[in-house]
Structure 1
Amino acid sequence: MNHHPAAWGQPLTAHQQFDMYSTFPIGHTGAAAAPVTHTQQPLVTGTSVIGLKYADGVMLAADNLASYGSLARFRDIQRLHPLGTHTILGAAGDMSDFQWLKKELDALLRDEEALKLTDGHPPLAPRNLYTFLANLFYSRRSRINPLWNACLVGGWDFEKDEPFLGYVDLLGTTYTAPTLATGFGMHLAQPLLREKFEAKAGVDGKGPLLSAEEAEAALDECMKVLFYRDARSINKYQIAKVTKDGVTISDSKTAPTVWDFAEGLRGYGAQVQ
């Protein structure tokens, strides 16, 4: 059988047809029979994503680390991805699944942009993308082939003229709240974010929301705590903001940290008593 590029698209000679079929192994059924397998656990992973609503929109923060087990393998990964002009996606969990997810969502947004040009179809709102992700994650989970991610979707809802923030994970679990987090951030950052939010807006959330400066300071504090307490994080992170004007993602920031106190801890360094 002639595989040379010059022969592509050309009909086979009688001799080539004879060679192709006469050398085919008898009883061969094509692909080897084997069970279909799926990813059993994530490999290269990102840790917490945190987010909160503030007076002008939504803020999300995530560090730039992708870990291979306990190895801090990739230190310049962006885990905050813009979707359209007024939505941001932040993902924890398996980074290869996140890459696939970004590709699928970007393709969906390109199709929607084409529809908008032809029939005036309105762009997808953050709530629409959140619903799409919820159905996608639940569908993959139901086929025992989950996307190993937990995601935050933030954006500006022009229909309701308010910020939107939602959570979806590999089981298809979904909910919305003024402050959200994934991974260890649920245990370490979420209480701090709630405290800051409720101190300004009240427990019912009906008071004034945090200003942009107050919200960013709260996220900075949480990212520092996560670096101290989460062994799969680093102190290099980005903050994304979504307002009526659009999406902005900051350059990587470095949280200032102090480890001098560790010398006084038993079992740390050269100390033996």
Structure 2
Amino acid sequence: MASLSLQAGGSSSRALPSESTVSAMSGTERTTRPITTGTSVLGIKYRNGVMLAADTLVSYGSLAKYKNAKRLLSINSRTLVGGSGEYSDLQSISDLLRANALADRCTADSLYEEDNNEECAKEVWSYLRAVMYQRRNKMNPLWNDVVVAGFSQNPDGTTSDKPFLGIVDKIGTAYEDDILATGFGGYIALPLMREKYRPDMEEGEARALLEDCLRILFYRDCRALNRVQIAKVTEDGVLVSDPYELDTYWDFKGYQSNKGEMGTDGGW
């Protein structure tokens, strides 16, 4: 607090606080809730790789603020990351992982052996688990659920043919599975994926299933959009599609009939 100094003549004046006093008064600030958020990310293993899917909407509360935000990120030639939650925190995670990937390449024995020096997906997943848990312990979490997809690594540094799919949440809880979903997709899309999933699915079947789930999420999730991205990891590398729009169907009888049987348009 500012000190009170008495001067001759009985008048008083308030001394200006020092920089250290101002710093002590303001304290340490923490993000208490996410502001601009993305919704569900879906992941699935199939015969030859792993596939992720997400829409491109970032919402500011109930406002559809950014409609072309890419939430599927290529970290290196064998790892994909998709994130829901606070978009600025996802950008921070992306910068951190790409800085690590650049450091690995710069400190490698040879710049011409990139594949042998890149982190595999499971290593990225384990690292994110530690980062999320450390930030949570400092009461300053990254407000994201992150899905990591790719392949494991053999002891000699080569890429394994065993696909990997894992998730890490904002408090450091992490697990692996054949199918994963974050956000509202954990309630709507995940049961549909469990019903249709087979370990030997072809790439086209996996993509069709993910698109169907994204379409249903667009119908049911107020923070979802029909503009989406699909990304895959195979032994040949990583491929992230450009955003595109899903076809939708609105001619269901339930959408056309009057609500409440009051002869109105359904509004209240």
Contact 1:116 1:123 survives alignment (8 Å): no
The code of the aligned residue for 1:146 comes to P
Which residue number in structure 2 is paired with residue 11 of structure 1? none
Which residue number in structure 1 is paired with residue 46 of structure 2? 54
Contact 2:181 2:189 survives alignment (8 Å): yes
How far has the Cα of 1:61 moved from its partner? 0.2
How far has the Cα of 1:69 moved from its partner? 0.4
- For 2:226 and 2:258, how far apart are their aligned partners in 1? 22
CA deviation vs aligned residue, 1:165-214 (integer Å, no higher than 9, x gap): 000010111000000000011111111111121xx34xxxxxxx210010
Match of 1:101 among 68, 93, 97: 93
- For 2:172 and 2:162, how far apart are their aligned partners in 1? 25
- For 2:21 and 2:220, how far apart are their aligned partners in 1? 49
Which residue number in structure 2 is paired with residue 169 of structure 1? 169
- Relative distance call for 1:82 and 1:267 in structure 2 (3 A) is farther
Which residue number in structure 1 is paired with residue 9 of structure 2? none
- Relative distance call for 1:114 and 1:266 in structure 2 (3 A) is same
- For 2:46 and 2:148, how far apart are their aligned partners in 1? 15
Aligned pairs (5 A) from 1:17-96 = 28-30=18-20, 32=22, 33=24, 34-96=26-88
Coordinate RMSD, CA, aligned: 2.1
The code of the aligned residue for 2:173 comes to T
How far has the Cα of 1:122 moved from its partner? 2.9
Structure 1 unpaired stretches of 5+: 1-24, 202-208
Which residue number in structure 1 is paired with residue 8 of structure 2? none
Aligned residues: 240
Contact 1:116 1:122 survives alignment (8 Å): yes
- For 1:94 and 1:251, how far apart are their aligned partners in 2? 22
SS of 2:76's equivalent in the other structure is coil
TM-score (norm 2): 0.84
- For 1:36 and 1:168, how far apart are their aligned partners in 2? 26
Larger proportion of strand: 2
- Relative distance call for 1:27 and 1:255 in structure 2 (3 A) is closer
CA deviation vs aligned residue, 1:53-90 (integer Å, no higher than 9, x gap): 00110000000000000100000000000011110000
The code of the aligned residue for 2:241 comes to S
% identity of equivalent residues:
40
- Relative distance call for 1:256 and 1:38 in structure 2 (3 A) is same
The code of the aligned residue for 1:256 comes to D
Match of 1:243 among 225, 234, 253: 234
SS of 1:260's equivalent in the other structure is coil
- For 1:79 and 1:29, how far apart are their aligned partners in 2? 40
Match of 1:234 among 215, 225, 234: 225
The code of the aligned residue for 1:127 comes to K
SS of 2:117's equivalent in the other structure is coil
Which residue number in structure 1 is paired with residue 187 of structure 2? 187
Asked if residue 264 in structure 1 is aligned to residue 257 in structure 2, the reply is yes
- Relative distance call for 1:129 and 1:57 in structure 2 (3 A) is same
- For 1:231 and 1:72, how far apart are their aligned partners in 2? 9
- For 2:234 and 2:102, how far apart are their aligned partners in 1? 22
SS of 1:137's equivalent in the other structure is helix
- For 1:29 and 1:187, how far apart are their aligned partners in 2? 50
- For 2:124 and 2:153, how far apart are their aligned partners in 1? 14
- Relative distance call for 1:81 and 1:266 in structure 2 (3 A) is same
Structure 2 unpaired stretches of 5+: 1-14, 155-159
CA deviation vs aligned residue, 1:18-50 (integer Å, no higher than 9, x gap): xxxxxxx98734461221010000000000000
- Relative distance call for 1:245 and 1:267 in structure 2 (3 A) is farther
The code of the aligned residue for 1:112 comes to D
TM-score (norm 1): 0.83
How far has the Cα of 1:158 moved from its partner? 4.0
